[in-house]
Structure 1
Amino acid sequence: MKKLLFLFIAGSMLASCGKKFLETSPLDRKTIDAFYKTPADAYQGLVSAYSMLDQDGYGNILLTSEIASDDAFGGGGNADQGLNQWDKFINMNDINAAAWSKYYTGIYRCNILLQNINGVDFKADSTTKHRYIAEAKFLRAYYYFDLVRMFGNVPLITVPLEPGNYFIPQSTPDSVYAQIATDLKDAASNMPATAFGSIPSGEYGRATKWAAESLLGRVFLYYTGYYGKQSIGSVVSKTDATAAIEDVIQNSGYSLVPKFNNLFRASSDANGFAGQNNQEGVFVIQYTYLGLGDANQNNGNRVQVMIGIRSQVLGPYYKGWGAATVNPALYRAFQNGDTRRTSSIISIDDEGYSADYTLGDQAQYTGYFIKKYTPINDKKPEDLGGNFQWDNYDNYPVIRFADVLLMGAELNLTTNPGKAQGYLDQVRDRAFQDQAHRVTLNNVQQIMDERRFELALEGHRYWDLLRQGVSVAKSAIDNTGATAAFNVTFRPETKGLFSIPETQINLSNGTLKQNTGW
């Protein structure tokens, strides 16, 4: 029987692994009918929903959106033409299929858990039951947010589909965002308000009330900016979003790591790395080397190998594919004294590697590579029994506390400018390691500029441009380089949306319609 790729059968839902609470044995030998009897069953179902966070480098929105932004080009090897689809806004053979399948598989697993959890005997432990439900709703909202940002009009599926009911029409973005906001509000209300310092280490990576409130703020700012709305329907107002972010800032226990460079292994001082799950990571995707060379485990951070310096080891940096070469304009845009420049970007010349660097088949070489997540030669996967292609293990902080502070500054800018100023000051003081570089906050553009530097190459810039307007995105992204390889023309007719995978359209029996401009 024909099924769309986004509607995975139940037998696929129970394989999972990861770090700490994600480290489980595959459970693909049970059917749903024989499952969901005990709290342990429900926990494994929840883990299966989390496990989709780790899937596939080409399906990772971090890589996709950085290449699509003005801060990075496609890069990779000369034969890696697929990366150009994101960089140059051209249509190429089904490049977004990995993301579509990843997110709808994650949504399916959340829906399965939510449909079956009432059949689990939790005895008197209703707290655990409600927490599992809340985490599943958070994950469903997270997956849908990435989908709707990328593709706009997507099918909204909140229950597992019955046989014969596979051709679901696309919903309006308004409907999808309302569901996302509803899920996040429900999630925040049913998760424990445990401050960071009291979270058991074995639970790092699990969604919390603070993650749900932070994501709600991000969703609100993107939706109201991109679509020019005042609220997310009747579900979330600006007052609601502001209160959520304020709760995180005041009560979550999260804080800034004192030195920006110590957020990332590749830029940290000797013994200064703050750790994979430090006080700044409000929601952090967990990766591990424990796949030990087995690509099917999907344990490792595939983006790391994709962005590493292509095919060579230079100083502390380990080899990779050379994807997402950094635009020199970003490197030059940082102010003198801003520690974020050298912590975020590898400069081949400024770090003294020009004599040793070999161009090889690197495409769109700029002299700059992403440092934040680049593989490093110390305790690399091979040293730990893994493979550098599959088993890089640095976590990805999807939401950092610095991002929350900047959202707080943006939301409070017109209603409480003093508070907004204080939040911006915290971020800049850390960046420059002094108070002499503070600026008087007068407008939202200052916050957008600060976001560009603070969150550089972490997957946020493209969406920050789009929520300021398609014309703003085009002005920033259009590029004329010294050679044609760097010529980029943003096509406003696409409205910044990506092409829906052709395989999905072909399987949909005419239900799915391609986005305008593709």
Structure 2
Amino acid sequence: MKYIKLAIVIFTISLLSSCEDVEGEFLEAPAQSTLNESVIFSTFDLAKGAVDGILEPMGQTNSYRGRFLPYYGFNTDAEWNYNSDEANNPTGELMIYDAEPTNSQMNTENNAWAQMYLGIERANICIKGLRSFGNTDVNEDLGQLLGEALTYRAVYYADLMKAWGDVPARFEPITPETLYLPKTNRDEIYKRLLDDLAEASELVAWPNENSLTTSVERVNKAFVKSLRARLAMVASGFQQYPDGVRRSNDPELSVTNMYTLALREADTVITSGRVQLSSSFETLWRNYNEEVLSAGRESLWEIPFAAGRGRMLFSFAIRHRGVDQHTGQARGGIAGPLPNLFYDYDEDDLRRDITCIPYQWGIPIDGFAKQELVGLNTWYFGKYRYEWMNRYVTSTNDDGVNKIYMRYAEVLLIAAEAANELQGPGAAAPYLKEVRRRAFPSALQAQKVDGYVDNLNSQQAMFDAIVQENKFEFTGEAERKQNLIRWNLLGENLREAKVKLGNLQTRSGEYADVPTTVYFRYAEDNETLEIYGLNRGETQQPGPEFSAFDWTTLTDVEVNSLFKEGVDPDDRQFWPIWQTFIDGSNGQLTNDYGY
């Protein structure tokens, strides 16, 4: 069944150890349990309900659903949030590297920070119970659940560190002695997560290997190994520590050790044959919007949302200005690709016209809306589309579409990056070619796949190409920011992006041949735009049936809104811990990084 289920039993289990106080922490409290832990965690259906409950906090309004997923990951050299150019906008401040601990969007006691720790506490209870009573060495189904609980806990911690850096670490259910904890060096947390995921990968099955791994809404071995590879790359990468931006000083997290681990895990997934790229980039995203959940495809694991939870399309879909033939929800479009990104793609790259959309759905007349051009300054992510769904969304503020947490294309690019570092560009080439092969028509692959990749003759050239490929593949999926951080390219690429936006605005430099007028007409269905003039050099009026549209709308304020003037994004790689959690920490938590 497609939803995050909070089984009644999870409340029972939680009461064995804790209850939630007003600060979002957990306090020990005596309580009567209707079931004994030994019964719950030795009985598959009861234990499954408890493990499912680990994910329930993700669906809360101020958690992943309405705060973390819509806001984390902006702004980058590929995407921005449309609140960024509004002065003193609390949402915009989260994007422009100017967030304060008292930010009104985030400084609430039920926010993502608290919900993540609620999920971790539930995971800790399940892990302890399954280890104690599940006989997981013999009972494979309960072993699968233990692997899921270990993985879900790793997901929560990975996202906490992605957003906040060093955070408190708790790997056992809360006791009075561990109620208030200081921050733990993230290196120690990463090492623990890598060990946990190694264990989990031995417990969970491959996609479709058993009845528990037939859906991407449940954890499988391909995802666990891929997540372990991702975390190894992050743990060894550059990131802001209290003493500056650097790699880890821990020899266990050296580039050689971590890239070797990442390449081994990625290769295991690749050679397993258990997952694969979608046949085309468009098919991938049509399947996503159609909510195809069968495992063994490109999506490795998805955060599962009920129809009344989740805001992926509500936040990121092509904008719909009203209730129309495609959606009963007039939303989408809070963010989009940078205007220059469309022109940075190779014109033959099939990902471009899926990723970068220059139109919205206008105000409907009698329930019928047409596509209409918006302007050079406003593009939308075409990966998210109400019009590609198989159901009609009627909720006012949720769409129920899952979040793809990781997909197979990332595994291939992790393998390419690790192989390049350890063995050189020749070893990286096959992985990069596989990703690019899907991006170009077969007639052009000899030149734009094989020729392009074979010409990357140095480690630096290959690395630069992998950085670009990640951008063209993942824009709009909240992957870019953390990758720029670990590559030590966040500040550099954001500053370069501002220059690019300025050049596009003035039609100078690399954007001198971008048209200043585009032309449009409607197809026979009277709703779909046919556009001429988006591509470089398309400057001739295509015919009297086409209408002209100004393509110069990009202001100085917008160009400069990518990050706050006078701020170095590398000094603000993480959000501050919100003040309510500082105040409720009994003096244990403080903010670093100049907050």
Q: TM-score, normalised by structure 1?
A: 0.81
Aligned residue in 2 for 1:241:
262
CA contact (8 A) 2:123 2:152 kept: yes
C-alpha displacement at 1:115, in angstroms? Answer: 2.0
Looking at structure 1, the residues matched to 324 and 382 of structure 2 have their Cα atoms a distance apart, in angstroms, of: 12
1:262 lines up with 2:283 in the alignment: yes
C-alpha displacement at 1:446, in angstroms? Answer: 0.3
C-alpha displacement at 1:251, in angstroms? Answer: 0.4
Give the match's secondary structure for 1:376.
Answer: helix
Closer, same or farther: CA 315–425 of 1 in aligned 2, 3 Å: farther
C-alpha displacement at 1:485, in angstroms? Answer: 4.3
1:475 lines up with 2:495 in the alignment: yes
Looking at structure 1, the residues matched to 213 and 194 of structure 2 have their Cα atoms a distance apart, in angstroms, of: 28
1:510 lines up with 2:587 in the alignment: yes
Aligned residue in 1 for 2:25:
none
Aligned residue in 2 for 1:423:
431
Give matches, 1:101-500, under 5 Å. Answer: 101-120=114-133, 125-163=138-176, 165-192=178-205, 194-196=206-208, 203-226=215-238, 227-229=246-248, 233=252, 237-265=258-286, 275-277=292-294, 279-289=297-307, 291=308, 300-308=309-317, 309=319, 311-312=321-322, 319-348=330-359, 357=372, 366-376=377-387, 379-382=390-393, 386-390=394-398, 392-414=399-421, 415=423, 417-434=425-442, 435=445, 436-438=447-449, 439-440=452-453, 441-442=456-457, 443-469=462-488, 470-476=490-496, 478=498, 482-487=555-560, 488-489=563-564, 490-492=567-569, 494-500=571-577
Looking at structure 2, the residues matched to 455 and 387 of structure 1 have their Cα atoms a distance apart, in angstroms, of: 28
Selected match of 1:88 from 78, 82, 96: 96
Closer, same or farther: CA 197–94 of 1 in aligned 2, 3 Å: same
Looking at structure 2, the residues matched to 35 and 506 of structure 1 have their Cα atoms a distance apart, in angstroms, of: 36
| Higher mean C-alpha deviation, range 507-516 or range 486-495 | 486-495
Letter of the structure 2 residue corresponding to residue 210 of structure 1: A
Closer, same or farther: CA 220–61 of 1 in aligned 2, 3 Å: farther
Q: How big is the alpha-carbon RMSD for the aligned residues of Structure 1 and Structure 2? A: 3.5
Looking at structure 2, the residues matched to 223 and 123 of structure 1 have their Cα atoms a distance apart, in angstroms, of: 29
Closer, same or farther: CA 119–196 of 1 in aligned 2, 3 Å: closer
Aligned residue in 2 for 1:295:
none
Looking at structure 2, the residues matched to 416 and 195 of structure 1 have their Cα atoms a distance apart, in angstroms, of: 32
C-alpha displacement at 1:425, in angstroms? Answer: 1.0
Letter of the structure 1 residue corresponding to residue 575 of structure 2: F
CA contact (8 A) 1:281 1:400 kept: yes
Looking at structure 1, the residues matched to 142 and 389 of structure 2 have their Cα atoms a distance apart, in angstroms, of: 42
Closer, same or farther: CA 405–178 of 1 in aligned 2, 3 Å: same
C-alpha displacement at 1:477, in angstroms? Answer: 5.5
1:205-243 CA-partner distances (Å, limit 9, x unpaired): 211221111111111112212242498726953322211
Closer, same or farther: CA 46–356 of 1 in aligned 2, 3 Å: closer
Structure number with higher strand proportion: 2
CA contact (8 A) 1:76 1:321 kept: no
Letter of the structure 2 residue corresponding to residue 63 of structure 1: P
Looking at structure 2, the residues matched to 506 and 130 of structure 1 have their Cα atoms a distance apart, in angstroms, of: 39
Give the match's secondary structure for 1:288.
Answer: coil
Looking at structure 1, the residues matched to 131 and 122 of structure 2 have their Cα atoms a distance apart, in angstroms, of: 15
Looking at structure 1, the residues matched to 233 and 11 of structure 2 have their Cα atoms a distance apart, in angstroms, of: 43
Closer, same or farther: CA 233–27 of 1 in aligned 2, 3 Å: same
CA contact (8 A) 1:256 1:280 kept: yes
C-alpha displacement at 1:334, in angstroms? Answer: 1.1
C-alpha displacement at 1:35, in angstroms? Answer: 4.4
Q: Which has the higher contact order (CA 8 A, sep 6+)?
A: 1
CA contact (8 A) 1:267 1:371 kept: no
Size of the aligned set, in residue pairs, is: 477
Q: Which runs of 5+ in 2 are unaligned?
A: 17-32, 239-245, 503-553
Looking at structure 2, the residues matched to 238 and 373 of structure 1 have their Cα atoms a distance apart, in angstroms, of: 33
Aligned residue in 2 for 1:75:
82
Looking at structure 2, the residues matched to 183 and 477 of structure 1 have their Cα atoms a distance apart, in angstroms, of: 38
Letter of the structure 1 residue corresponding to residue 217 of structure 2: G
Looking at structure 2, the residues matched to 350 and 24 of structure 1 have their Cα atoms a distance apart, in angstroms, of: 36
Aligned residue in 2 for 1:296:
none
Looking at structure 2, the residues matched to 325 and 237 of structure 1 have their Cα atoms a distance apart, in angstroms, of: 33
CA contact (8 A) 1:54 1:285 kept: no
CA contact (8 A) 2:136 2:142 kept: no
Closer, same or farther: CA 286–301 of 1 in aligned 2, 3 Å: same
C-alpha displacement at 1:248, in angstroms? Answer: 0.5
Closer, same or farther: CA 230–375 of 1 in aligned 2, 3 Å: farther
Aligned residue in 2 for 1:10:
none
C-alpha displacement at 1:302, in angstroms? Answer: 1.3
Looking at structure 1, the residues matched to 140 and 287 of structure 2 have their Cα atoms a distance apart, in angstroms, of: 40
Looking at structure 2, the residues matched to 240 and 331 of structure 1 have their Cα atoms a distance apart, in angstroms, of: 35
C-alpha displacement at 1:121, in angstroms? Answer: 5.7
Closer, same or farther: CA 267–255 of 1 in aligned 2, 3 Å: closer
Looking at structure 2, the residues matched to 43 and 200 of structure 1 have their Cα atoms a distance apart, in angstroms, of: 10
Looking at structure 2, the residues matched to 366 and 285 of structure 1 have their Cα atoms a distance apart, in angstroms, of: 31
Looking at structure 1, the residues matched to 379 and 272 of structure 2 have their Cα atoms a distance apart, in angstroms, of: 39
Closer, same or farther: CA 113–123 of 1 in aligned 2, 3 Å: closer
C-alpha displacement at 1:403, in angstroms? Answer: 0.9
Closer, same or farther: CA 316–423 of 1 in aligned 2, 3 Å: farther
Looking at structure 1, the residues matched to 390 and 83 of structure 2 have their Cα atoms a distance apart, in angstroms, of: 24
Report which of the two structures shows the higher radius of gyration computed on alpha carbons. Answer: 2
